[in-house]
Structure 1
Amino acid sequence: MAEAPLLLTTDPGERDRTDALLLGLVAEGDREAFGRLYDRFSGPLYSAALHILQDAAEAQDIVHDAFITLWEKASTFERTRGSAFSWAVTLVRNRAIDRIRMRRRRAELLAESVPEDLGYGTDGGAPSADDAAVQGDNARLVRAAIAELPAEQRRALELAFFGGLTQEEIARRLQEPLGTVKARIRRGLLKLREALAPQL
């Protein structure tokens, strides 16, 4: 293995050259270089993800995914288009923004999957005391209905709606086929509808 010097310099040019050299070694499958790159990048990348997501667990997931991409796609890095660190930050930023979009989509899907009277009054304004009490009761009913789901469906739904993970990310985390995860989420939502419809 070509030894990349671990420079303790404050010179950005030297840091960029070292990072690019390490990334080149990663492209050749060098695990030690990957570990050194992880040591150099993981702290700042985690801070960037946390700043966007405001959630420590999600930030860790995003950084983990970004390092998987760095390992798999290191050979596609073009130094002429920027530094290795900038590329890594872009990976994290894009994934974090995608995660926020997925949160919104999931919130919309969840809102569509339960009866309308879970929400506030029809005027769209802030809830009255009565509305707030009803909403609290409804939230308890939803939590109770989720708790009654089979463990596999419950876990998939929790990761999707409360963890903000994509179906692909859930499949990776649970080490299950993507089709299995999709089916569990679909079946879980149907069971939630069936369980909640008579009560709401």
Structure 2
Amino acid sequence: MNRKSQIAARPDSETEVNPRARTTPPEPEPGAPSDLDLMKAIQAEDPAALSQLYDRYNGILKALILRVIHNETEADDLLQEIFMEIWNHAKNFSAQKGKPLGWMVTLARRRAIDGLRKKQAYTRAEERLQSETEQRPEAWVHNATAEEIAFSDTRVLVRNVINGLPPAQQQAIEFAFFRGMSQREIAAKTNTPLGTVKTRLELGLKKIYDGLKELRDEL
């Protein structure tokens, strides 16, 4: 089982029971390793140390994420990603620059804000695409022949742009907008992390919008 699965599978996680319950740092039990000891162990790739750090601070970090994201499911996903980043980038932590909790809080806050910005950008791109695709074909051309108007039908333009996307982004767009699948359904069907699916949709929508603008300007 990989690190992400180990974290996600913990049934006794306080985050799952009451994600807002803990907002202050817990006192380690007598004899328990300090935060610094756990970080050093994680730097040495000890998965048990990551699990202990998760048990100790998942409540605090999720409470912080929820102040920004305001969505339980997205906060859970982001929390898993943050602990994976802690595991993958533990060597970037230095005790000389601060305490482990401060480093993790900074990381969580940055990731939460980035997640919110991506969500807002995705929503704006989706709204723009919806607006573009609802326009009449005549709005895309000037003094065009009947044949040109038929070719410039919005659906044809969208399809041309989609066909030019990288395969992974094209697949995500196809599933989301032509088959009506949710991001989680796409992730499950393609065996792809949810965060990756979100990124592919965001990038794909932006390229579609930019591509439609370029095609319209050329006509």
Q: TM-score range by the shorter chain?
A: 0.5 to 0.7
Give me the whole-angstrom Cα distance separating, in 2, the residues matched to 1:44 and 1:78. Answer: 21
Give me the whole-angstrom Cα distance separating, in 2, the residues matched to 1:98 and 1:117. Answer: 28
Partner of 2:131: 115
Give me the whole-angstrom Cα distance separating, in 1, the residues matched to 2:52 and 2:194. Answer: 25
1:50 aligns with 2:72: no
Call closer, same or farther: CA 1:67–1:156 in 2, change over 3 Å.
Answer: farther
How far off is 1:171 after superposition? 4.4
Alignment of 1:19-34 (within 5 A): 19-34=35-50
How far off is 1:7 after superposition? 3.4
Call closer, same or farther: CA 1:150–1:22 in 2, change over 3 Å.
Answer: closer
Asked if structure 2 preserves the Cα contact closer than 8 Å seen for 1:156 and 1:184, the reply is: no
Call closer, same or farther: CA 1:28–1:104 in 2, change over 3 Å.
Answer: same
Q: State the Cα RMSD in Å.
A: 4.0
Call closer, same or farther: CA 1:26–1:183 in 2, change over 3 Å.
Answer: closer
The TM-score, its normalising length taken from structure 1, stands at 0.55
How far off is 1:151 after superposition? 7.8
Call closer, same or farther: CA 1:150–1:60 in 2, change over 3 Å.
Answer: closer
1:7 is paired with a residue whose SS is coil
Partner of 2:176: 153
What is the number of residues matched between the two proteins? 137
Question: In the alignment, which of 52, 60, 76 is matched to residue 36 of structure 1?
Answer: 52
1:7 aligns with 2:23: no
Give me the whole-angstrom Cα distance separating, in 2, the residues matched to 1:7 and 1:183. Answer: 41
Asked if structure 2 preserves the Cα contact closer than 8 Å seen for 1:23 and 1:74, the reply is: yes
How far off is 1:26 after superposition? 0.7
Call closer, same or farther: CA 1:171–1:184 in 2, change over 3 Å.
Answer: farther
Give me the whole-angstrom Cα distance separating, in 2, the residues matched to 1:150 and 1:108. Answer: 16
* Farther-moved stretch of structure 1 (150-159 vs 61-70): 150-159
1:172 aligns with 2:172: no
How far off is 1:117 after superposition? 10
Asked if structure 2 preserves the Cα contact closer than 8 Å seen for 1:23 and 1:33, the reply is: yes
2:89 is paired with a residue whose SS is helix
Runs (5+) with no aligned partner, structure 1: 1-5, 119-148, 161-169, 194-200
The TM-score, its normalising length taken from structure 2, stands at 0.51
1:114 is paired with a residue whose SS is helix
Partner of 2:158: none
Call closer, same or farther: CA 1:117–1:28 in 2, change over 3 Å.
Answer: closer
Give me the whole-angstrom Cα distance separating, in 2, the residues matched to 1:97 and 1:28. Answer: 29
Question: In the alignment, which of 99, 109, 127 is matched to residue 115 of structure 2?
Answer: 99
Asked if structure 1 preserves the Cα contact closer than 8 Å seen for 2:173 and 2:201, the reply is: no
